[in-house]
Every structure is written in structure tokens, then in C-alpha cells.
Structure 1
């Protein structure tokens, strides 16, 4: 008879690592966010974004035509600093 033992913690860790790597790859694929992506990433409405940090001088944004774009890497850095300042 064949008996198989599975280390559930090791499988959970491998699964978590695989998801994290995939998310990092996805993040690096996006150079810019648009307003839809910014709202999705912050879990905020457009009005909340406008009222809280959009008009801050160091918030990275670029308007091309009638559409706003946000450099993904710089925006993530800004948002992390901004959130920590709210403490």
C-alpha cells in the first residue's frame, strides 16, 4: 500500500509565494495607472482622492489630453508615505 503525506503549511507557503511573484510581475507590467486603476488600487472614490491628496504638490500626475495618468512606481511610494502621515 502506498501512503502519501502532505505538509499543508509548505503548500500554503508555496501558494502564497507564487501569488506574490505573480502580483509583482503584474505591478511591474503597469508603467502608468489611469484614474480607474488609481481608484481600484486605493479603494477610494474619485471625490475622496480629490479631497485628500490629488492636489498635493508632490502627488505624481500627468495629464495627457483630457486624461490623467499616474506613474505607478512613484504613485505607490507617494501613497504609502501619505497614508503613514495620517497616523
Structure 2
């Protein structure tokens, strides 16, 4: 019979979990090229009407309408939203 001894640094567990969650989120974000309006609402925690009131009609807001649906290039939109939010501070 073999004895196995495992030691765990319990202080590192939360930071390791956070690191791995961040990596998983970044990997998921890279998979999406475009967001639709539902994804944009989810990511901004804003309703469609609130987005229209505050930034949708900003000429810098990257968007394309294909037939009756709006699409937003994910990386460009992320950068726009960060810039827009900094301006609102």
C-alpha cells in the first residue's frame, strides 16, 4: 500500500479560481465576432430603450443593420463602450 500526502495552500484557492474564470471568460469572448441586440443588452445590463437613449445613436457606435436586425462587431463595440463610459464619469 502506498501513502499519498496532498497539501493545499488554501489561501491560493480563491486567486486560482479567479484566474481560471477570467481565462474561460476571455476564451468565450474571443469566440464571438458579432453581438446582436440581446447580447448587447446582456453585456451592458441595459434595456434596448436605455441603450437608444444613451449611446445607440452616437455616430461612433459601431453597428450594422442586416434586414431588420442590428449587429455589433464585438471587439469594436467593447472599445466603444469603454470609451463612452469613461466620458460619462
Quickly name the TM-score band, shorter chain normalised.
over 0.9
How far apart are the structure 1 equivalents of 2:5 and 2:63? 58
RMSD of Structure 2 on Structure 1 (CA): 1.5
Gaps of 5+ in 2: none
Aligned position for 1:18:
20
TM-score by length of 2: 0.90
Query: Which has the greater radius of gyration?
Result: 2
Count of matched residue positions in the alignment of Structure 1 and Structure 2:
87
Gaps of 5+ in 1: none
Following TM superposition, the consecutive aligned residue runs of length 4 or more in structure 1 with deviations greater than 3 angstroms are 1-5
TM-score by length of 1: 0.92
> Alignment partner of 2:53: what SS?
helix
Q: Which of 53, 60, 83 in structure 1 is aligned with 2:85?
A: 83
Aligned position for 1:27:
29
